[in-house]
Chains A and B, each alone.
Chain A
């Protein structure tokens, strides 16, 4: 394959040989001489006061090195303890009702007086083996006073509900507002108002690898090294510094192979921070391995909204306005990473969807409850918005007696209206929504399906078709924009391209892939930009000791932002090489042109130098043009001018068995537009995985707490992660609408499948159930729920 064709080729992944032979390097695979093992004692209560903790018996168990509790840490890092976890995304007071700064109740790494959810960490044991550490947990005697708990956000806001934090009356962490356009005018002009209450249920992210850490304090150099399962090692380093007091330049965070994250591995959590602190305290490496049970009760969950939605529409289907009140369950504390930004900034600005809507008012109440904190989970806020828009527009269509395709087409932003400034202030970069929908309709054979559906109904079979035309914001993101939202970081990205003396290339990137395949796609980009074979390019990531700086992988930003930084760095290298080539070929710079890895003199094609020759000359260093420094190496920090906005239309076809309530997926068609595609095989894989998660939200997954704060779906036995048997073959297709501002024209794709698919599936099931009189159902659409809905529906 010619190297210039690497962009757009389905190159086999370069990370696979090690992963298919068992030679991957996940955190749990790492061990150090003399290491100890940490086990965490979690609160068994959803809400409890800690009267006292007696660790004497645990400390006496042979093999136990130390036991620590909140009392050992509460003095703060400056006094030898630890600071509470920081909150990276406090919302600006200007966006909050009342205009006061948002209170940030402390989340201590080990609970000091009160445990606020069943996974809250109360003590740790450090021992010579993992088994001894776990044995010792049973010997810690905690005197708890159980307190009343509340797990539902609506109940938590009621007068008299149990209070989680003194600083936040009625458990309201924030009341955030986005009021755009004249909503009163929209509703006064409305011919029809459609109202509904939706539940976007709580989900458990379930990366197959749980969290883990190995912390090593080097007393000689006074440096901490943390191997962990982070999606963003540099961010983990900063949060770790703020929590432990270990200076940032003495703290190295390494995340080699990471077994999936889906947002749940962005934030810093108590255990990783305590492992670092304990390693320093004990002068021993400390290893911690999260059990799946701990992952369910202690690692962030996703979604969990109750949404009150009102649509102002005209009888012809024109949407005038949308009013949303969302109650977002934040759990017991705000997460250290995205946290409060997820149900606010990543949610409400996308309520316009693919449509021209003149007024949108969103009021979001973040509510504390006795549950594990919620945070980013694949899509993070955008699925919650897309569900409102794409399920809601179906409910509106039904009310108006319109076809779901017709109402979407009527309100679509048109291709000639880009860049489109949404009323919510986001500026959609590019799009062609009707084209993607038409392609999907064609694949589905929509009109023919309606005939089949009618025939089937006569035979007592209930087929349904559901649509979802989505647009999402990703490629997070322009720093000035995200700074203004209160996020205490930029979302730029960095890349270094280092061409070695022999022409081999090392790329250093600040993104931190954990399944997305950038070791391959980044090599493809460099190969395309510099004309070197793809196998000559290695991509280094996930190590703050090697990579200058970075923000990590989430928000579908790996290629959209990290890839842009890489392209800019590669082009700087190319320009530097061109200068050296001109010098060595004794030609004017303007006469030297580049093609396919070779610099040649215009008009004298024999006068040429390959980039590998230039690299060696740059290494030799003695014969370089004035002002050019040795070695071919360039670095670029890229701050995107805007987000990117991938879009598409998904169509789901189902059959519902009215006798059992079982939904069977018959077809799933996804037409997505993420601009030009670097590696189609990898992009398709990203969409497949996203679809699986989004479909599973519609049909299967639900994290359930009882009223006391016990997680009832507390293991993989009780929580339905879909298997191969629950899913089907997905039909994928694409349209290609480049982003005008991303250097390669591309948009992110990691979250599109999840964002788009959930409403498509729900809409299909509701379409199937329509003749049975079922009007509305909340997810997940389990057989039991569907069966009950059929039984309880008003009979015609």
Chain B
């Protein structure tokens, strides 16, 4: 038996009938064709599938699509706005934060969540926050640098409108 679900994904409303066992990640990839979110393991270790669900970074392999009904989801495809990269995307590009790129979408989602909670993290805090996301290519050093770049950029961006309003 299929269930009807409604989701807002990257600002677009979707309504579909899905099997109750369908995972959110499979819904995003196979039903909506948003293939930027990847699957790297079966056990919720790797974090490649991390997306934003109502503003929380979640591993979309551990959420059923029916559980996400009514929610807002943001995936890597929704990070850039009007062709302008999100500071996190820019950071990963500037600082060589990716090699094969497979872990990158999930890694960026986790990092964005970190900066929302802690806009100026130390290196240790960044490394700790990334413990749910695996990368086999970079040794994480440039991922840390990428997040530091994004943090700096986002802090500056937050500061600017405030001063302009005065």
What residues make up the interface of A, taking CB atoms closer than 8 Å to B?
Answer: 12-13, 15-17, 19-24, 26, 28-29, 131, 206-210, 257-260, 262, 291-293, 514-517, 681-682, 684-686, 688-693, 715-717, 721, 723-725, 727, 729-730, 753
- Tell whether, in the assembled complex, residue A716 and residue B46 are in contact, meaning their CB atoms are under 8 Å apart: yes
Those of B113-152 within 8 Å (CB) of chain A:
123, 126-128, 130-144
CB of B52 within 8 A of chain A? no
Nearest neighbor of A687 in chain B, beta-carbon distance:
B139
- Tell whether, in the assembled complex, residue A685 and residue B77 are in contact, meaning their CB atoms are under 8 Å apart: no
Partner of B92 from the list A16, A131, A210, A514 (CB cut-off 8 Å) is A16
- Tell whether, in the assembled complex, residue B36 and residue A258 are in contact, meaning their CB atoms are under 8 Å apart: no
CB of B163 within 8 A of chain A? no
- Tell whether, in the assembled complex, residue A689 and residue B139 are in contact, meaning their CB atoms are under 8 Å apart: yes
16 interchain pairs, CB-CB under 8 A? A16-B101, A20-B92, A28-B39, A208-B38, A208-B48, A209-B40, A209-B102, A260-B99, A260-B100, A293-B42, A681-B96, A688-B140, A715-B41, A723-B133, A724-B140, A725-B127
| Interface 9-residue window, one of B65-73, B103-111, B154-162 | B103-111
Most buried by A among B96, B101, B133, B142: B101
Q: How many residues of B contact A (CB 8 A)?
A: 55
Partner of A689 from the list B37, B46, B75, B136 (CB cut-off 8 Å) is B136
Hey, which chain B residues are within 8 Å of A693, CB to CB? 136
- Tell whether, in the assembled complex, residue B141 and residue A729 are in contact, meaning their CB atoms are under 8 Å apart: yes
Nearest neighbor of A293 in chain B, beta-carbon distance:
B42
Answer whether A515 and B100 are a contact pair too, CB < 8 Å, given A208-B40, A693-B136. Answer: yes
- Tell whether, in the assembled complex, residue A515 and residue B139 are in contact, meaning their CB atoms are under 8 Å apart: no
C-alpha gap A24/B123 in the complex (Å): 29
Hey, which chain A residues are within 8 Å of B128, CB to CB? 724-725
Answer whether A23 and B36 are a contact pair too, CB < 8 Å, given A12-B93, A259-B102. Answer: yes
Those of B83-102 within 8 Å (CB) of chain A:
85, 89, 92-94, 96, 98-102
C-alpha gap A721/B77 in the complex (Å): 27
Hey, which chain B residues are within 8 Å of A257, CB to CB? 100-101
Answer whether A292 and B41 are a contact pair too, CB < 8 Å, given A20-B93, A21-B89. Answer: yes
Hey, which chain A residues are within 8 Å of B99, CB to CB? 260, 515-517, 685-686, 689
- Tell whether, in the assembled complex, residue A715 and residue B130 are in contact, meaning their CB atoms are under 8 Å apart: no
CB of B21 within 8 A of chain A? yes
CB of B34 within 8 A of chain A? yes
- Tell whether, in the assembled complex, residue A208 and residue B136 are in contact, meaning their CB atoms are under 8 Å apart: yes
- Tell whether, in the assembled complex, residue A259 and residue B141 are in contact, meaning their CB atoms are under 8 Å apart: no
Hey, which chain A residues are within 8 Å of B21, CB to CB? 131
C-alpha gap A424/B75 in the complex (Å): 54
- Tell whether, in the assembled complex, residue B143 and residue A724 are in contact, meaning their CB atoms are under 8 Å apart: yes
Hey, which chain A residues are within 8 Å of B37, CB to CB? 22
Most buried by B among A721, A724, A729: A724
- Tell whether, in the assembled complex, residue A715 and residue B45 are in contact, meaning their CB atoms are under 8 Å apart: yes
C-alpha gap A437/B63 in the complex (Å): 51
Hey, which chain A residues are within 8 Å of B127, CB to CB? 723-725, 727
Hey, which chain A residues are within 8 Å of B34, CB to CB? 22
